[in-house]
Amino acid sequence: MKKTMRLERWLPVALVAGILAVWEWQVSAGRMSALFFPAPSTIAATFARLLTTCVLPANIVATLSRVFVGLALGAIPGLILGLAMGSSSRLRAVFDPLIAALHPLPKIAVLPLIMIIFGIGETSKVVVVAIACFFPMLISTAAGVRQIHPIYFEVAENYGGRLLQVFTRVVLPGSLPLVLSGLRLALNTALLLAIAVELVSAREGLGSMIWFAWETLRTEELYATLATTAALGISFNIVVQYLTAKLVPWQVEREG
């Protein structure tokens, strides 16, 4: 059993390593265009150069600042409203039609309107990210509260549980798995929207690096920036998995 689990963990690494090895061989043999598909060794060297010259770290910081500020401004209200909507059928009746109408709108499409309202500076970029984080956290949290079995509330009431005690002992623990799933979705959406906004209207950030690399046909920098973005996404997921293991251990044990 342990050997099988170790094999499953190392299999993706071996697969990626095999793809990179074939890619390197194909480029060195002249069977793939080095302009459009630079060799992995070239991409790695470019990544090291961008890292040591502090170009990449500065742009990562710019992107992450938009991600985390937007996450705080969007996910926290989404969490609060989601808990309220999950607990109240009246609130769901009021807000569900509005959410159903606004959630499908492409968030990058409302950027011009946001820029008219908040200007072309940093505020408009953060607001778009916040709006994108709001909906996944809201929907996941409300679903997490609603999936709690009514018997838990009945037991709490029978034992004389007060409103605050029911909230802290039943609602929060019961909804936490889906809340963390919403956090994962919100983080990934925040990263996606931050880079999308930077492609359109930013002078710094990973999105602006991608756009500049495309304009100047520096494909090795393009691939290095995309790989950095992928690494950030993986890091976000690892953090959420760690939080899940610490805060919802029974969920991890059940999945295992």
pLDDT for 53-76, tens place per residue? 989 999 999 999 999 999 999 999
Residues 6+ apart with CB under 8 A from 76: none
Per-residue pLDDT at 154 exceeds 90: no
pLDDT for position 102: 86
pLDDT category of residue 2 using cuts at 50, 70 and 90 = low
| Per-residue tokens: 104 | 């499908």
**Where does residue 122 rank: exposed (0-12), middle (13-18), buried (19+ CB within 10 A)?**
middle
> pLDDT-derived band of residue 20, with 50, 70 and 90 as boundaries?
confident
Residues 6 or more apart whose CB falls under 8 angstroms from that of 231 comprise none
Q: Which alpha helices (H) appear in the chain, and where do they start and end? A: 2-28, 40-52, 55-87, 89-102, 111-118, 122-146, 150-158, 163-166, 172-201, 206-215, 219-247, 249-255
Q: How far is 236 from 239, CA to CA, in rounded Å?
A: 5
Distance CA 197, CA 256 (A): 38
Mean pLDDT of the chain: 86
φ/ψ bin of 160: left (φ > 0), alpha (ψ from -120 to 50), beta (otherwise): left
Instruction: Taking residues 177-203, report their average pLDDT.
Output: 90
User: Is it the case that residue 84 has pLDDT exceeding 80?
Assistant: yes
Q: Which two tokens stand for residue 68?
A: 């985390």
Q: How many CB atoms are closer than 10 A to CB 167?
A: 14
Give the pLDDT score at 215.
Answer: 86
Q: Are 111 and 201 in contact (CB under 8 A)?
A: yes
Instruction: Say how far apart CA 46 and CA 224 lie, in whole Å.
Output: 7
Write the pLDDT tens digit of every residue in 140-149. Answer: 999 988 888 7
- Who contacts 35 (Cβ-Cβ below 8 Å, separation ≥6)? 217, 219
The reported pLDDT for the residue numbered 60 is: 95
Cα gap 142→147, rounded to integer Å: 9
Least confident of 109-118, 122-131, 166-175: 166-175
Top CATH class, 61-255: mainly alpha
In the predicted model, is pLDDT for residue 12 greater than 60? yes
Question: Does position 228 have pLDDT exceeding 70, yes or no?
Answer: yes
The whole-number average pLDDT for the span 34-52 is 89
pLDDT (tens digit, 9 = 90+) per residue, 85-119?
888 888 888 888 888 888 888 888 888 888 888 88
